[in-house]
Amino acid sequence: MFHPLTLFALSHVKQENVGLKRLNLRMNGFGLEGAKAMGHALVHNRTLLELDLSSNRIPLQGAVSLAKGLNSNDVLTTLKVSRLHTSIPGE
């Protein structure tokens, strides 16, 4: 799991970045908080073109946060989510 300060920094770097085009977060222990931070960052980011979230564990609520961020982002062209493990409450 990410440390809370790492999530905070990730969120702000993503929003203020002016040159980052590709971000590989494959197998980074993404969970609910990571997905929420990335969803928030995607709303504001206007430079990231490719994002790899493959092989992470993201619960349903985190997937919803990511979806909201993606819905507001018209710049990202590639999202990789192979071997993404999602969980639904009660399973």
- Tell the burial category of 90 from Cβ atoms under 10 Å away from its Cβ (0-12, 13-18, 19+): exposed
12 has pLDDT over 90: no
Residue whose structure tokens are 């995607």? 42
- Whole-number Cα distances in Å, 49 to 4, 9, 61, 91: 25, 20, 24, 34
> Does residue 56 sit in helix, strand or coil?
coil
Sign of the four-CA dihedral 58, 29, 66, 84: negative
User: 17-65, pLDDT tens digit by residue?
Assistant: 667 788 888 888 778 888 898 898 898 888 889 999 999 888 889 999 9
